[in-house]
Amino acid sequence: MGTETLFAAVLITWLAVFQCCNGHNFNYKEALTKSLMFLEAQRSGKLPADNRIHWRGDSALDDGKEANVDLVGGYYDAGDNVKYGMPMAFTITTLAWSAIAYEKELKAAGEMGNVHSAIRWGTDYFLKCGKKRGIFYVETPRTVLQINETVPGTEIAAETSAAMAASSIDELLWAASWLYTATKDQKFRKFITEEAVSAVVDEFNWDLKYAGIQVLLSDTFLQSNDEALKIFKDHADSYICSVLPQSPYFKVPKTPGGLIHLRDGANLQYVTGVSFLFSIYGDLLQHHNVKVKCDCQEFDASTILNFAKQQMDYILGANPLGRSYMVGFGNNPPTQAHHRGASIPLSEANVDINCGMSFARWFNKNSPNPNELTGAILGGPDKQDKFSDLRWTSIYTEPCTYVNSLAVAGLAKLTCHK
């Protein structure tokens, strides 16, 4: 074998190995690491000594004081300083699911400790929220208006009751599914099978969890062959058929560049949701050697996993603009995240920064944020693959915790794509 032939063979082998672990030349391990760093930037409360976000300090240390309870901690939801219970709980649940599904990959990447820390930061806060028997604090108000028998608020109370009743069905199934998965207690199985809803959905997010329930219980069905749970496998297949472009039942809008686009405003949450469930379900199908059937067509695990990868790759830079939508990662990443902490420069300890100052001095300033919000996946492009990297165009540039938590599974899977 000549020198040139030998060199070519070595080069081809090296490129094959490189592609296996990086695919499209993206460093998925770096993206995974940075995705978790963003969650650290969203921490509220007294920060630990090992805080990696140098520009973040302690904040909201009086939360709950007005009601004589300690509600310090948890996560800020997005670019503001608000803590919302349901999205935060969804963030922690999907992180924990990622840790279960991709334990080996996260350990190999050296990130399992950071995932555990991120989960614990949320669960410690939730334990505070439910410390009193019969009471659970679902938000942290910093100004409280109480309505009761003597101070009525009939309209808001009635409307809230209606909203909670109508929207709680999937949350109850979601909770029961996880409790059954963890305990195998038959009372949870009974609830799941009796309350099963024939819901064919095409999205997965903090406010619509049916697809997640279906994928989670499909695993239980395939392991146990419990016929009462087969309906969830059927519905999980229907979800795949609705979202997968090759399916005859495909109905989800896409951009010309191939990105799932359900609606403007943090659209990448739906994209990372697809990557999350397609990754987990694809591995599940592969493990049990089963396929998804969409009418007369069948799709194997590799097709499902490839679509999960394609959606994640779009976020990281494989898109018509050739740019990354993760701050601090890849080619031409966004620099003006719609984020109060990142867009206001550090000041002396005795300088008071108020809301009016932030709008007047920094919000409308067309320049990079003084503090890099490393790892934040922003709202993303519009339905024509266009993007505006301006702080005040929040539908494009605002990050959310659950966008990143949903990305963890897909990125962990891709740290060595096969």
Indicate if the pLDDT at residue 207 is higher than 80. Answer: yes
What percentage of the chain exceeds 90 in pLDDT? 72
Longest Cα–Cα distance of the chain, Å, equals 93
Q: What's the pLDDT score for residue 222?
A: 95
Point out the catalytic residue in the list 24, 116, 287, 338.
Answer: 338
Q: How confident is the model at residue 139 (pLDDT cuts 50, 70, 90)?
A: low
CATH number of the domain within which 213 lies: 1.50.10.10
Q: How confident is the model at residue 183 (pLDDT cuts 50, 70, 90)?
A: very high
Per-residue pLDDT tens for 20-77?
444 466 999 999 999 999 999 999 999 999 999 999 999 999 998 888 889 999 999 9
Asked if residue 199 is part of any domain, the answer here is: yes
Task: Count the domains in the chain.
Answer: 1
338 catalytic? Reply is yes
Asked if residue 282 is part of any domain, the answer here is: yes
| Residues spanned by the domain of 325 | 28-145+171-346+360-415
Residue the block writes with tokens 């492009």: 381
Indicate if the pLDDT at residue 141 is higher than 80. Answer: no
Q: In a 3-state reduction of DSSP, which class is residue 208?
A: strand
Asked if residue 166 is part of any domain, the answer here is: no
Indicate if the pLDDT at residue 78 is higher than 70. Answer: yes
- H-assigned helices in 53-153: 85-101, 103-108, 112-129
For 64, left (φ over 0), alpha (ψ -120 to 50), or beta?
left
Q: What's the pLDDT score for residue 283?
A: 98
Q: What's the pLDDT score for residue 316?
A: 98
Asked if residue 183 is part of any domain, the answer here is: yes
Asked if residue 55 is part of any domain, the answer here is: yes
Q: How confident is the model at residue 159 (pLDDT cuts 50, 70, 90)?
A: low
Asked if residue 7 is part of any domain, the answer here is: no
Contacts of 223 (CB under 8 A, 6+ apart): none
Q: What is the chain's mean pLDDT, rounded?
A: 87
Q: What's the pLDDT score for residue 331?
A: 98
Indicate if the pLDDT at residue 173 is higher than 60. Answer: yes
Q: What's the pLDDT score for residue 172?
A: 87
Mean of pLDDT values over 190-197:
86
Q: What is the pTM of this model?
A: 0.88
Q: How many C-alpha atoms does 204 have within 13 Å on its Cβ side?
A: 28
Per-residue pLDDT tens for 370-418?
999 999 999 999 999 999 999 999 999 999 999 999 999 999 999 976 4
Q: Do residues 151 and 144 touch, judged by C-beta distance below 8 A? A: no
Q: Do residues 410 and 272 touch, judged by C-beta distance below 8 A? A: yes
Indicate if the pLDDT at residue 83 is higher than 70. Answer: yes
Phi, psi of 150 (to 5 degrees): -90, -20
Please state, in angstroms and rounded to a whole number, the distance separating the CA atoms of residues 391 and 401.
18
Indicate if the pLDDT at residue 182 is higher than 80. Answer: yes
Q: What's the pLDDT score for residue 13?
A: 39
Mean pLDDT highest for which of 15-29, 146-160, 255-269?
255-269
Asked if residue 389 is part of any domain, the answer here is: yes
Asked if residue 20 is part of any domain, the answer here is: no
